Every structure is written in structure tokens, then in C-alpha cells.
Structure 1
Amino acid sequence: MTDQLDADGRLRHLLTLEGLPRATLCALLERADGFAGGADARGALAGSAVCTLFFEPSTRTRLSFQRASQRLGADVLGFDAATSSTTKGETARDTLKNIEAMGVRGFVVRHSIDGEVADLAAAANPGTALVNAGDGRSAHPTQGLLDMLTLRQALGEDFSPRRFLIVGDLRHSRVARSDLHALRTLGAGEIRVCGPAALLPADATLEGCIVSHDLDAALDGVDAVMMLRLQRERMEEGLVASLDDYHRDYGLTRERLRRASPAAVVLHPGPMNRGVEITDEVADGAQSLVLRQVANGVAVRMAVLEALLA
């Protein structure tokens, strides 16, 4: 993989949270917390251009990167794969190089293929920075960062006495992988994961985690519950019997949430399948931090773009 850091330890690209030094991760979170609190960011990227190069659909990630770029004073170029020359056979690399030739040096890239963003970073010119906005099932580093910022705001900076639970389709989730890397780096006291056996990875992804298939038991005493979206194609693949069965066994309800710590918080990266992995009562309840995650997404992406491009 392309090295994310230069010889001086500064960020060149943000491709994954795996292996990212704790000091770098914490510095991004602290800067993001400042932006979330209203720190002045005007003009930090004046004269720069950022292209949101998305080869997959997105709402929250794309718009929050655009909003972050605007708040930093950068020009924003939107890219729609459906109406671009990629429909004529142009490769992602050629698309990047052509936009780069227009003077753009910041790219936010989402792609369906694992490792594609790192390959594009390797092909980029010196001085061009790429941010992985989600590639395949590998990584979604800014989602991991905004989740950590949200958890730090709610639970404090010391994760060592805390118990965290991630629920759902971890096998196919780039969000879960980034969250796990970040939680380990930040010294989480206990990481639990829960889901159907068919939706849990068989590789080293869950190393050091407490694995369960019983959501009621997994919820006991946890400080944070991080729900994952059930991708409906898993039903077509035969990995989930039915949405009703999944909700019965792994849906977070108000009654189930009572098993967690009384002050436990609930996160979800969105989009939510209400009535499947989470009920309305929980998604809209007092313990839900879903909308704070969205707000923090802008602040985190501001911190990342500033670190890469300012």
C-alpha cells in the first residue's frame, strides 16, 4: 500500500486507519473537535480545489466532504460516475489524471473495489492528496474518525475502562474495519462484536474481540452500541433468512438497550434500515448519537483536508 505518511511523519494521503500512529489519529480528532466547537477555518484552503471522485452512490459522505471543503475555502468539483466518461470506458486512473491536469490536488475517492484508492494514490503526482471515502469492504477512515470523535465527546478520551459493541454485518463492512482499527489504537478496554455467523469475517479482522451470536448477552453492561446497516443483498446471497428474522435476533430495540449501561450511547453510520437493525424508538431516542455523527463528519473531514492540503 502507498505510504500514508512522509519522511517527517506528516499525512500524504488518508487511506486507512490501520497502522495510523496514535499521535496522528489523536491530532486529527483534537483538530476536528475544535472545528465542531466553532473554530475559525475560513481561508485555510483558499485557492485549492477538491474533487469528490465517487464511483459509488453516497449522501452523507459526499455532502459532508463538500461542506467541509467549502468551510475551508476550497473550490469543490463534484464528479458523477453515471454521467462521466467512465461510462465510455475511461479508467479511474485516467479520470484522476485528467482532473489532476486541471490543477486539482485534493481528491476524495469512493470506489467499489478493495484497494483501488491506494492504487490511485500511487499513480498521483507528488503534492496530490487522496482521501479514501470508502473502498470495497476494506476501509472508510473518515467514518472511523467521526465515530471516535462522537464517542470521545460522549464517553471521554480514555477508552480503557469502556466496553464497546459492534453489531451486524461485520464481514462486508468497511465501517466496522475502520472502527476496529481506531478502537484498538485508542486503547479500548473491551471490544465485543455480535452478528450471525454468516455475517462475521473468518480472517484476522476480529482478533482480540469478544465474539457473540447472542445480542442480548452481548449488550450486557456495554457503554456504546455501534449498529451496522444490513445490506439487503445478503438476503439474495442466502446469508440472512429474512428481514423479520434478522430483526428478531439482531435488531436493537428499546427493551434490548436496557441491558446496556444506563448511560450507553447508540451509533449508526447510516443509511438506517428502520425496523430491521434498529427501531424508530432507539434511532430517535435520547441515547442515539446518529445526528451528532453526521455533524461531526463535517468537522472530521475539515481536519483531514486541512492536514493534507493546507
Structure 2
Amino acid sequence: MKSNLQLDARGRLRHLLSLDGLSSDLIIDILDTAEQHDKLLAGPEKKLGTLSGRTVINLFFEPSTRTRTTFELAAKRLSADVLNLQVAASSTSKGETLFDTLKTLEAMQADMFVIRHESSGAAHFFAEHAAPGVAILNAGDGRHAHPTQGLLDLFTIRRYKSLPGEATRDCFSRLSVAIVGDVLHSRVARSGIHGLRILGCQDIRVVAPPTLVPVGIKEMGVSVHHDLEAGLDGVDVVMLLRLQKERMLGAFLPSLGEFHRDYGLTRARLAKLKPEAIVMHPGPINRGVEIEGDVAYGPRSLILQQVSHGIAIRMAVMSLILGRDNGERR
């Protein structure tokens, strides 16, 4: 990833394609801005005029509920005009290229595209060819990256694991985080690892069957565990991943039942964790596979809070990129 493509000449966000290459100061700025927006969302008046007159197009080539909806809500909370493009019903289904789609929509005076695509690098392609002043936000590209999911996970961890008055880097430097499940196919895992490392987390564990661990993952600064109990020993945060059966073309697992037996977070396993350990999951959940239903919405789980924090994070990213031109930032 060419990190400079994401930044303008002053080092500020121009696009958001990946957390890889961003500075800790910039990520903390996004988290702090999201805190301000989260306070707004908790009050009676939930709307700002930051992006009034701006047009945001959600361009989703893959199905999505949480991500698309929270991006739409975030843009509307900032007073942007929002268009949700149904790609299956668009000209791309007739053979139009990504480049032609981008240029056609740019001609409609769009200011920002939120893009989800099944191909790794698709968001980067759009950013390389976008007109000056048009921003690209990656809402997930293949197995590569899901930066706003990574940011909302960092936001959630900081919100629930930092001590009063503690600096963000100090918080993450003392935490142990386990990422459990289908790491091989997970853009969420990659973005999470990048973000945790940038903020100083020293103990990041990947816990998965050997068939679901990417080659070279240790080079990202993580330890690899194939035994769940050992991988979860002493951790502060458990980040579960969905089994992405739609991306599996071979026999990665004997069966879903065996995966749950060996790697599912059950009530019995939860009881063995540190009392203050938290449980996270990007959704959607495969109940009875990576997590038991009672655990998913139990008192240790922050899954629903993650969804809510996604709105604040996406508002923060949009306002930092487009809002400063409207006089709202910097």
C-alpha cells in the first residue's frame, strides 16, 4: 500500500484505504474526533452541518448490512446527501468497467465514494484514478483491508480498557489481544493487527487452525497459536472472527461442529478468562460456530457497542477528510 496516496501534502487524510502506513498520531486524532461525535449521538440533537452540500455515494459490490447502514447514517448525521448504489442493478452488471463506473459517478459531482468490493486492491484502484477533491473510503476489499472496522475496534478497546487519564499508547502497550478464527480470509484481522501494532500493542495473538492461518502472518508481529486455551491464557481482549464460508474454495475445516468444539468461545471457556477480559466480534455472527449465543450478548460482550461505535468512527473519518474544506476542521 502506498501510504502517501492516503494523505495530502500536509499529512492529513485524503483517502482511507488501509491502516497500514498511517501514523499513531493520525489514528489517535481519528479516535478523539470519534469521541466528540459519539457524545453528539448520545444527545437529543444528533445532526451536524459539517457535510452540508456534499454528496456521498455508497458503492457496494458485496452484500453488507452493518457497514453500509452505518456509513449511510454517518453521512446523514453530517448532513451529506447520500446515494446507495445497487451494483447488481447498475451498468456494471452489463459489463461496465470499474474505471468507467467511477468516472460516470464523478460526473454527477460526487465528493466521496464508500467502496466495498470482493477484489483486494479495488479501493486503491479507485483512489489512484479519482479526480482531485474526490475522496475514497475503503469499506472492505477482498482479504486486504477494512480500515474503519479496525478503527472502531480500536475505539471500543480504548473506551473499555483504558484507565482514567491514561494515554492511548500506554493503554495499548499493556494489553494482550487474541484474534481468533478465520484469519486467512479476514480483512478485519489484517486491519486490526495493523492498528494494534501502530498504537503500540506488544502481545497480539492469532489463534486458528493451521489451515486458516495466512503464510507469513508472523512477519506482522504476532504470535500464532493452534490451541485455543493456550492462546487465550491471560488475554485482555478476545476478537472473534466470522468463518467466511463464501471465500472458502477448499476443505479448510473438517466440519463447523468440530470448529466450534476446538475454537468456539463457549460459556465454559469464557469463565476461564480474566474477569475483566472483553469479547468482540465484527459480525455477522455464526451462532454455535465461533461463539455461543449466550456469550454473544452476555455482559462481557461488546458486539452491539461495536456497531454503535461504527457510526461515530465513520463520521470522524468523513468529517476529517471533507469537513475541513467546509470550515469545520482545522
Query: Does the CA contact (< 8 Å) of 1:165 and 1:222 recur in 2?
Result: yes
Query: Does the CA contact (< 8 Å) of 1:54 and 1:80 recur in 2?
Result: yes
Instruction: Give the equivalent residue in structure 2 for 1:150.
Output: 156
> Where do residues 127-206 of structure 1 align in structure 2 (5 Å cutoff)?
127-156=133-162, 157=168, 158-204=171-217
Q: Does 1:124 align with 2:130?
A: yes
Return the letter of the residue paired with 2:260: H
Structure 1 residues 2-11 or 197-206, which shifts more?
A: 197-206
The CA deviation at 1:234 is: 6.3
Structure 1 residues 185-194 or 44-53, which shifts more?
A: 185-194
Query: Does the CA contact (< 8 Å) of 1:66 and 1:76 recur in 2?
Result: yes
Of residues 270, 277, 287, the one that matches 2:300 is: 287
Instruction: Give the equivalent residue in structure 1 for 2:234.
Output: 221
Query: Does the CA contact (< 8 Å) of 1:14 and 1:132 recur in 2?
Result: yes
The CA deviation at 1:149 is: 0.3
List per-residue Cα deviations over 1:236-294 (Å, max 9, x = no partner): 51001100000000000111112221111000000100000000111010000000000
Query: Does the CA contact (< 8 Å) of 1:235 and 1:241 recur in 2?
Result: no
Query: Does the CA contact (< 8 Å) of 1:51 and 1:76 recur in 2?
Result: yes
**TM-score, with normalisation over the residues of structure 2?**
0.91
Is the partner of 2:26 in helix, strand or coil? Answer: helix
Instruction: Give the equivalent residue in structure 2 for 1:20.
Output: 22
List per-residue Cα deviations over 1:67-119 (Å, max 9, x = no partner): 00000000001111111111100112211111111110110001111111101
List per-residue Cα deviations over 1:127-159 (Å, max 9, x = no partner): 000000000100000000000000000101311
Return the letter of the residue paired with 2:10: D
Q: Does 1:46 align with 2:52?
A: yes
Identity rate of aligned residues, in percent? 53
Q: CA RMSD in A?
A: 1.3
Return the letter of the residue paired with 1:93: F
Is the partner of 1:187 in helix, strand or coil? Answer: coil
Query: Does the CA contact (< 8 Å) of 1:68 and 1:299 recur in 2?
Result: yes
Is the partner of 1:132 in helix, strand or coil? Answer: strand
Return the letter of the residue paired with 2:310: G
Return the letter of the residue paired with 2:20: E
> Where do residues 241-260 of structure 1 align in structure 2 (5 Å cutoff)?
241-260=254-273
Of residues 104, 107, 110, the one that matches 2:116 is: 110
Instruction: Give the equivalent residue in structure 1 for 2:165.
Output: none
Query: Does the CA contact (< 8 Å) of 1:264 and 1:287 recur in 2?
Result: yes
Change (3 A) 1:98 1:243: same
Supply the distance in 2 between the matched residues of 1:83 and 1:74 (Cα, whole angstroms): 24
Supply the distance in 2 between the matched residues of 1:54 and 1:206 (Cα, whole angstroms): 31
The CA deviation at 1:189 is: 3.1
Instruction: Give the equivalent residue in structure 1 for 2:282.
Output: 269
Query: Does the CA contact (< 8 Å) of 2:179 and 2:239 recur in 1?
Result: yes
Q: Which structure 2 residue ranges, 5 or more long, are not aligned?
A: 163-167, 324-330
Supply the distance in 1 between the matched residues of 2:133 and 2:68 (Cα, whole angstroms): 22
Alignment length, in residue pairs? Answer: 310
Of residues 99, 114, 128, the one that matches 1:93 is: 99
Supply the distance in 1 between the matched residues of 2:176 and 2:160 (Cα, whole angstroms): 13
Is the partner of 1:193 in helix, strand or coil? Answer: strand
Supply the distance in 2 between the matched residues of 1:278 and 1:34 (Cα, whole angstroms): 32
**TM-score, with normalisation over the residues of structure 1?**
0.97
The CA deviation at 1:207 is: 3.0
Return the letter of the residue paired with 2:34: A
Instruction: Give the equivalent residue in structure 2 for 1:240.
Output: 253
Supply the distance in 2 between the matched residues of 1:60 and 1:141 (Cα, whole angstroms): 14
Q: Which structure 1 residue ranges, 5 or more long, are not aligned?
A: none
Query: Does the CA contact (< 8 Å) of 2:207 and 2:224 recur in 1?
Result: yes
The CA deviation at 1:233 is: 4.1
Of residues 221, 236, 247, the one that matches 1:208 is: 221
Supply the distance in 1 between the matched residues of 2:249 and 2:115 (Cα, whole angstroms): 28
